[in-house]
Amino acid sequence: MRVLVVEDFEVLARSLGAGLRREGMAVDVVLDGTAALERLAVTRYEVVILDRDLPGVHGDEICRRLAHDRREVRVLMLTASGTIEDRVGGLALGADDYLPKPFAFAELVARVRALARRATPPLPPVLTCGDITLDPARRVATRAGRPLALSPREFALLECLLAVPGRVLSAEELLERVWDEAADPFSSAVKHAMHRLRAKLGDPPVIETVREGGYRIGPA
């Protein structure tokens, strides 16, 4: 999933970005409301973690615009304003969830994952293709019962492919869904990560390279 963190306290913003990336998410981080609107105009996100009191454009205005445009993105307000009135006001603006500071990171991750499930078409709780299974909630993948030791990025790649078995996903689409702002769009990151994933999946091969730089997964 792709997540946008909008938080003006840079230490917290960078910490959230790093922590969510360790959870296998592609995360972009901005420090003000103006930059957030610029990112939202060009990138599709499943979840926006949004501070309310932002420089530039206030977080409330960003939330209003997303609700007005009927975007599929889900908004988690993350703010020090934690009274009942503040929570009710934030939800009335169009936020999907509200988490006051301070918070437990594990709870934040659980809420982000729950919101992401609402932002995308429902998928089976366990994804399968042939003898490969992947459980997104438990972060476990196996082949023929053998656990696969996948990095967060490899896990995310396999999840993308298993979500649409038989469909070709371009390298550009995978780059957008699995990588984030730190990725070089002209690099061979997808190719190298796919090579590592294939090696860990072992034989017989199930991921096919399609002409013009696409990939699809199917039964061996």
Helix (H, G, I), strand (E, B) or coil at 53: coil
Query: Given a cut of 60, is residue 186 above it in pLDDT?
Result: no
Task: Tell me the one-letter amino acid at 34.
Answer: T
Q: What is the pLDDT of residue 185?
A: 57
Radius of gyration of the chain (CA): 18
Helix (H, G, I), strand (E, B) or coil at 3: strand
Confidence of residue 68 (pLDDT cuts 50, 70, 90): confident
Q: How does pLDDT run across 104-134, given as a tens digit for each residue?
A: 999 999 999 889 877 665 566 789 999 999 9
Best CA proximity match to 160, nearest among 24, 16, 9: 24
Look at the pTM and tell me if it is higher than 0.75: no
Q: Which residues pair with 76 in a beta bridge?
A: 49, 97
Distance between CA atoms of 27 and 156, rounded to whole angstroms?
13
Asked if 176 and 43 touch (Cβ cutoff 8 Å), the reply is yes
